[in-house]
Amino acid sequence: MDQEYRATRRPTRTQDLLQRLKSADCTKKEKDALHELCRCMVKTFSNDPKPVYIAEAAALAPVLRRENHEQLLIDLITALGNAIIKGTADGNIEEPSLHKAFAYVLRHIKDIPAIRSPISSVLRSLLTRLRQATKIADLQTQYLMVCSMSAILDSMVDIKLSGLSRESFHEPLLKQLKELTKDEDIRLAQASSYAYQAALGIKDDEGPLEALWRYTMAAVQNGADIAGAVSNMDPGALLRSLPSVSSVTDLVRKLVDVGENVANIMQDVNNAREWMDSTHKISRQKSWYKALRYIGLLLQSEAWSALEYSIEQAPCRKDAQFQSSLYYELEKAWKMANLTKNVPRKDKLTTLYHKLSNSLGPTESTVQAWIGLVGTSMGIQQQILSKFLDVPGQGRQSHI
């Protein structure tokens, strides 16, 4: 009987394996056998991370999380990370599914401290490759690296992962992305703007009081009388020693980024410990990024009515960056539907494009450029595009 059960129920596909582990009639003996199969699959992928294995390996993440197989999860994401690092180093970076799989698995690894190491290694590798591509003006590689980092950063934001090195990674990453937001190529600039906002939502390894002290020290010019302030760690004394209004203005702006209730810290040193434990850096993320995360989920889920309603009700609806982001996401979704020959989805997305272009009203030049760019991608005739554009065919372009 037991042999007959195994013969008829033994999974032959990853989907079957996942279903059996979720099944209420899965016995302990069978579960143990299936868990061993999961271990073998992770080990196989670790030893030979072929592209054909990527989706199958990543699909194990929900089960491994549910069954508390933390080490297997770490092994899995480490294997994915090593494959990304190797591909990035040798130039073989044409496998976007690998980056998506890494981001997907990452979403299932919340509250596992050991995960910071492989994530940091992957992000550093991508940043290094991005810098190299920027130096030689390789637009395609720059775009791929930025999109890959965006997916990973989004996952980090979702699971509230923090602790990346501010000095050696977080600030250099923000600086690189911010520079690319001004790129002449409109697609690269938009992708970089999105990634930059995602990166802002990740806390680094610097505590609020450390940041306060660093910003204060940086604002003090040479020659200021700060000996007493330094020896006593007295922020108030440092503020009084500032010789110029511009430094004070810069300091105040930075203090707002560091956290709330800074004035209370200066007045009562005894509150410092409590403040460090209970407050966080104020998120500098723009509202359009947060709105786009939600709208992106509706777009992926094809919840068309809810999607249109959310766009109409978005507080940042008139924000040019939000509008540009909408067209950027719309184009990506349309291209994927076109690649998979999903005609109904393409039709829905084209209809949404027309509704957006008719309802957003007067738009600035960057949004106008996006309307033209996406319309061209969708094969919309110039005669129709001219209804949406002030100057058809003009504005920023993309070569990606």
Q: What is the pLDDT of residues 35-62, one digit of tens each?
A: 889 999 999 999 988 888 898 999 999 8
What whole-number percentage of the chain has pLDDT above 90? 34
- Cα 385 from Cα 379, distance rounded (Å): 10
What is the number of alpha carbons within 13 Å of residue 289 lying toward its C-beta? 20
- Cα 397 from Cα 400, distance rounded (Å): 9
Count the neighbouring beta carbons within 10 Å of the beta carbon of residue 265. 21
- Cα 239 from Cα 391, distance rounded (Å): 52
**Tokens at residue 45, please?**
């992928």
- Cα 143 from Cα 192, distance rounded (Å): 8
pLDDT at 265 over 50: no
Does the global pTM surpass 0.85?
Answer: no
- Cα 314 from Cα 318, distance rounded (Å): 9
- Cα 145 from Cα 152, distance rounded (Å): 11
pLDDT at 319: 92
- Cα 92 from Cα 129, distance rounded (Å): 11
Residue 60, judged by CB atoms within 10 A of its CB (0-12, 13-18, 19+), counts as buried
Task: Tell me the average pLDDT across 335-345.
Answer: 93
Domain ranges of the chain: 2-200, 208-278, 287-385
pLDDT at 241 over 90: no
| Banded pLDDT at 153 (limits 50, 70, 90) | very high
Q: What is the pLDDT of residues 279-303, one digit of tens each?
A: 344 356 888 998 999 888 889 888 8
Is 180 in contact with 143 (CB distance < 8 Å)?
no
The DSSP-derived string for 193-242 is: HHHHHHHHTS-BS--HHHHHHHHHHHHSPTT---HHHHHHT-HHHHHHH-
Average pLDDT, the chain: 77
Is 374 in contact with 330 (CB distance < 8 Å)?
yes
pLDDT at 391 over 70: no
pLDDT at 168: 82
pLDDT at 266 over 70: no
Task: Tell me the average pLDDT across 331-346.
Answer: 94
